[in-house]
């Protein structure tokens, strides 16, 4: 498997797991994962895991500011990935 795709799969899995962990933390009123982590993971290429986590866990669905930040990070990351893939 291509190292780039392996990396993207791993960082997306981290994003998905963090979304689930944050949802659980919200339910039990425990310490939460800072939103900055989700934005950084999205920027690092894990936006698919974070976006999947929004839908799978129904988490942060109504937070527009969160959606805008992670959406912008996803667009930037996708553009960088496109440039990397085309340069190969």
Which residue segment(s) compose the domain that 76 sits in?
Answer: 3-86
For the chain, what is the domain count? Answer: 1
- Give residue-wise pLDDT tens across range 18-60: 999 999 999 999 999 999 999 999 999 999 999 999 999 998 8
Question: Residue 84 has what pLDDT?
Answer: 87
Sign of CA dihedral 23, 30, 8, 85: positive
Alpha helices, H only, 1-88: 3-27, 35-41, 47-56, 64-86
Q: Model-level pTM? A: 0.90
Given a cut of 90, is residue 1 above it in pLDDT? no
């Amino acid at each position: 498997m291509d190292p780039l795709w392996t990396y993207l799969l791993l960082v997306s899995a981290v994003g998905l797991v963090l979304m689930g962990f944050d949802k659980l933390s919200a339910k039990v009123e425990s310490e939460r994962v800072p939103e900055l982590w989700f934005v950084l993971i999205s920027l690092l290429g894990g936006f698919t895991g974070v976006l999947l986590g929004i839908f799978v866990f129904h988490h942060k669905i109504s937070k527009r500011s969160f959606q805008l930040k992670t959406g912008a990070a996803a667009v930037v990351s996708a553009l960088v990935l496109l440039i990397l893939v085309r340069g190969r």
